């Protein structure tokens, strides 16, 4: 769909992890690619959402989203690779309230714009056209859909209020349609 953030390929994801220099920024990307959260949701994560009081990584990430009709909670299982990035970050920093703290911000955590800048520098270093922080979300949602995960399950994790909202995020690859036809066995 024109004007939407590009979907990242597997090789792009590997390369992005290679060019990001710090454990914090790698975790920022990992959360985006393994949970589908928006960059504004990522930078506002509190430490206790991902790590227990004794320092172990939680099994799921619970995200609170304010909607027109009330509060919605999304539970997103923590992927083993994301778990590894969380552990690496947790051992390399002093944890406080915010997972991504900032002394320069009135909120106490890095701002959405700084998150955009961090990811933009990685995308630019690799000359990935059409990418933005929303590429992480679109990649997560599209990949799950292409893997055959029920759309209702994907919708639960994404926080979209309807399947039609979710479907606007999902990219259709011409190869997907070819594969769909070739699956017919009659």
Who's near 61: CB < 8 A, 6+ residues apart?
31, 35, 45, 49, 50, 75, 76, 77, 78
Run of H or E residues at 64 = strand 60-67
Domain limits of the chain?
10-180
CA distance linking residue 48 with residue 145, whole number of Å: 29
CATH architecture for segment(s) 10-180: Orthogonal Bundle (1.10)
List the single range of 54-58, 68-72, 163-167 with lowest mean pLDDT.
68-72
Look-up: residue for tokens 């539970």?
A: 75
Average pLDDT over residues 2-13: 88
pLDDT exceeds 60 at position 2: no
89 versus 75: the higher-pLDDT residue is 89
- The answer to whether the beta carbons of residues 168 and 158 sit under 8 Å apart is no
């Amino acid at each position: 769909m024109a004007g939407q953030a590009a979907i990242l390929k597997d090789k792009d994801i590997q390369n992005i992890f290679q060019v990001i220099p710090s454990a914090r920024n790698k975790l920022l990307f990992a959360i985006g690619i393994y949970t589908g959260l928006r960059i504004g949701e990522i930078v506002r994560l509190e430490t206790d959402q991902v790590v227990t009081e004794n320092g172990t990584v939680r099994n799921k990430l619970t995200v609170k989203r304010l909607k027109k009709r009330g509060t919605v909670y999304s539970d997103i299982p923590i992927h083993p690779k994301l778990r590894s990035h969380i552990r690496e970050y947790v051992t390399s920093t002093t944890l406080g309230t915010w997972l991504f703290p900032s002394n320069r911000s009135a909120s106490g955590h890095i701002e959405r714009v700084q998150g955009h800048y961090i990811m933009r520098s990685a995308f630019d270093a690799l000359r990935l056209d059409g990418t933005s922080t929303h590429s992480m979300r679109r990649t997560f949602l599209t990949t799950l859909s292409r893997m055959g995960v029920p759309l209702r399950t994907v919708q639960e994790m994404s926080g979209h209020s309807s399947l039609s909202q979710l479907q606007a995020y999902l990219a259709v690859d011409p190869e997907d349609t070819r594969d769909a036809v070739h699956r017919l066995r009659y």
